[in-house]
Structure 1
Amino acid sequence: MKRPIPFSYPNRLFLLWFLCCLSGLAFAQPPRGPLVVSPQINDDKTVTFRYLAPAASAVKLSAQFEKAPVPMTKGEQGIWSVTVGPVKPDIYPYSFQVDGVTVMDPANVAFFPNERFKASLVDVPGDKPLIHAMRDVAHGAVTYEYYPSVSGTTGSVVVYTPPGYDKNTSQKYPVYYLISGTTDTEETFFKVGKTNLILDNLIADGKAKPMIIVMPYGNIAARIAEQKGGSKPADPTVRDGDDAIKRANDFGNDLIGNIIPYVDKNYRTIADRNNRAIGGFSRGGGQTLRAAFGHMDKFAWVCSYSSYLSPQEMDKNFPQIGSNPDNTNKQLKLLWVSVGSDDFLYKGTVEFMDYLKAKKVNYKSLITDGGHTWMNVKKYVAETTPLLFQ
């Protein structure tokens, strides 16, 4: 007959240690609060936003479709909520103000890529699919690429290749270099501008030619500082000041000397100016105009979204554009300028268009409602890409 093993003092210590470990593992797991659904898009195009903050004394919704922050109401389990709208179908950034502190929506995975605060995004669908909506069409691919850049740094770009790119391995494509604005990143035209879905839909409808779109990061100074262990420099205080122009030229040199050669080497591009376009929004639009006017041998298609160059800078740095309009008009297959009527850059952009008109430089323009927003940028991309490479 087997005798039971005595429960000795060391065994008791081991058991106590084991139970403590189990208890520690249990307490190491963060507590799960109530399920919060936010944003909730309702059938009537109203949108309900919710935020869990049991200890907060005040929570407000700040959204680009609202003129001022909207107070939210505290409900059961400390969930604050508000229903607003109906909201015009589009994609909008929003955030919450919790006791005066701005925060993202933790219940929402969609966010606005930015160097500073990253707002959340709400996509209100239309009754009919909007140009940026996901449709049942052939889709292109989006790839993140890294290339050797200036000062020994590594640059980053997001690249869209059209439907069929991987199958039609003998076909070459034109390229559109598309640059986002101040504080934006190389992801913004993709994640907020939905450029890939816009092109998928336009190509499926036969309205745009299949093309490669390259979306670079425009803040060279910030990237150098980040990778060299320095502090990110503040943005230039004057849009057409010496510092802003130098930074734009630094980006242009990186684009011409590094990005374009990398793309031409690694993708099936038609590597000539007639099959190369450049465009950009805000700061990216200024970089676009400076790079294009300074390298007319590289680009035949130029799109400026909510941006401009002053007549003084044009006469000083790019006198050939206005002094020989016949040659300029012969070289540029498209010069596009667009801006919103409420955009803070509206006055300067109209002045730029007046300058081109006075110099008899051909251009196409579009003035829309609204301000300096990505809602307008999507419109400009949808209007211009069907014109490229035709």
Structure 2
Amino acid sequence: MTKTRIMIALVVLLAGLKSNGQEALFGGQEIVSPEINKDKSVTFRLLAPAADSVFITGDFLPTTKMKTPMGEMDAPGKKLLSKNGEGLWTYTTEPLASELYNYSFIVDGMTVRDPNNPFVIRDVSSLTNIFIIGGGKADNYKVNDVPHGTVAKRWYDSPGLGMDRRITIYTPPGYEDSKEEYPVLYLLHGAGGDEEAWMDLGRTSQIIDNLIAEGKAQPMIIAMPNGNVTQDAAPGMGSDGFYKPVFMAPKTMDGTYEANFMDIIKFVENNYRVKANKENRAIAGLSMGGFHSFHISRYYPNTFDYVGLFSAAIMPREDATGEVYNNINETLEQQYKNGLELYYIAIGKTDFLYKANQDLKKQLDEIGMPYEYVETDGGHIWRNWRIYLTDFAPKLFK
């Protein structure tokens, strides 16, 4: 074929692709979704000519209640899109507050991602699209023009668990070029999460980069380990290969993780320039990670000066029979006597763990242990946990 014929063929091919719009090779470049409008409303579009119904579900919609293995929880509602004569379905929200939002489409009963939005996050085994409305608190979650830290995925030996395990480590801007020593925050994920969760869903590096740049938080190292003791790494990242993530891995809350947490601290303190003392260690976590933080910090009562419990799963468990769970009041009292700079409890008003956290407050009141309490709207959601991290981090290592 001559060069002229090749050029003609390419022109015809490209013209055909353009006329067909959302075809395979150029996958929907003619459609903008989501489109953030000037008034901060958002328009979603999906080309689905053969569909009988298309709904959108997302955390910007009014919530409904759903039953889960952890109890009744808030779930996002859904709205029906309108369809034009060309099979394009459209929905526009009311103006939205500044936030990071997630959403999916439901096409004839099947949940699908937005083919025009390549940005997704994984929460347990669910994938959802995301977008950010700036101009407020969500500016903390954006990549802004500030100095950036480094995020590394490392492997460490855990003698207590009998395996090498993967951990995410954030080092602050300038770490590589300095000889300075830094404090450390150990940041723990919830049930169904792993060492990817706080980075991908929690926007940890963006939050800390921005807080440090604004002079609101001290430069710090953040260690984000995997709290599922039967995993060496997140699904697809470890020796077990590709498999569907589960909500609760075996032995996750039976005391094994807490009892062997010093393996993580030893790795961090042997491999990074840190201030290796109680005054420069913090531990915090969400939900199951709050459960772990509560028990780790009192089981090793002279290890952390800062403790953060975000929607913590403070509740009795049938498998909580390990030594870690003995003498809770006594170890809490010892933790208090050893001295603490901050004991931080945060919970949403509609969180299914709300009562458990009120009970924890009463328990601390009985032993005279001071704490800072934060109550927000909403339930057991990442929107709250990002807020708590943004509030907690500036209080550390002052």
More strand by share: 2
Equivalent residue, structure 2, for 1:161: 171
2:151 to 125, 136, 142: 142
Alignment of 1:337-352 (within 5 A): 337-352=345-360
How many residues were matched structurally? 361
Matched, 1:52 2:58: no
1:333, distance to aligned residue in structure 2 (A): 2.2
State how far apart, in whole Å, the 1-side matches of 2:288 and 2:358 are: 16
Rg larger in 1 or in 2?
1
The whole-number CA distance in structure 2 between the counterparts of 1:290 and 1:54 is 54
User: Contact 2:56 / 2:81 at 8 angstroms: preserved in 1?
Assistant: yes
- What code does the residue aligned with 2:167 have? V
1:144-293 equivalent positions in 2, closer than 5 A: 144-149=153-158, 153-168=163-178, 170-223=179-232, 227-228=239-240, 235=247, 245-246=253-254, 249-257=255-263, 259-293=264-298
Among candidates 321, 328, 348, match of residue 336 of structure 2: 328
Q: Which moved more, 1:288-297 or 1:360-369?
A: 288-297
Structure 2 residue 359 is matched with structure 1 residue 359 = no
Kept in 1, the 8 Å contact 2:56–2:79? The answer is: yes
Shift of 1:362: 1.6
C-alpha distance in structure 1 between counterparts of 2:185 and 2:137, whole Å? 28
In structure 2, do the counterparts of structure 1 residues 30 and 324 end up closer, same or farther at CA, with 3 Å as the change threshold?
Answer: closer
Query: In 1, Cα distance between the equivalents of 2:286 and 2:332?
Result: 27
The structural deviation recorded for 1:252 is: 2.4
Tell me how far 1:316 sits from its aligned partner.
9.1
What one-letter code is carried by the residue in structure 2 that aligns with 1:346? Y
> Taking structure 1 as reference, are residues 356 and 322 closer, same or farther at Cα in structure 2, changes over 3 Å only?
farther
Match of 1:348, SS state, is helix
For residues 74 and 146 of structure 1, do their structure 2 counterparts lie closer, same or farther at Cα, with a shift above 3 Å needed?
farther
Please list every run of 5 or more consecutive structure 2 residues that lacks an aligned counterpart in the other structure: 1-5, 14-22, 63-76
Structure 1 residue 375 displacement after superposition: 1.4
Once the two structures are TM-superposed, the CA of residue 254 in structure 1 deviates from its matched residue by: 4.6
Task: Return the match for 2:114 from 105, 110, 125.
Answer: 105
1:321–1:335 distance in 2 versus 1, CA, 3 Å: farther
Residue pair 1:278, 1:288 contacting (<8 A) in 2 also? yes
**Per-residue deviation, residues 263-291 of structure 1 (Å, max 9, x unmatched):** 22222112222211111011111111121
**Which deviates more, 321-330 or 37-46?**
321-330
CA separation of 1:318 and 1:201: change in aligned 2, threshold 3 A: farther
Kindly report the root-mean-square deviation, in angstroms, between the aligned alpha carbons of the 2 structures: 3.3
Confirm or deny that 1:132 pairs with 2:159.
no
Query: 1:213: Cα distance to partner?
Result: 0.7
Distance change in 2, residues 1:236/1:163 (3 Å)? closer
Give aligned-pair identity as a percent.
34
Q: Distance in 2 between matches of 1:71 and 1:55?
A: 16
Distance 1:149 1:325, change over 3 A: closer
Q: Distance in 1 between matches of 2:138 and 2:27?
A: 36
Structure number with the higher helix fraction is: 1
Which residue does 1:38 correspond to in 2?
Answer: 33
User: Which secondary structure does the structure 2 equivalent of 1:189 belong to?
Assistant: helix
Q: CA deviation at 1:307?
A: 0.8
CA contact (8 A) 1:308 1:352 kept: no
Q: Matched residues in 2 for 1:162 and 1:83: separation?
A: 39
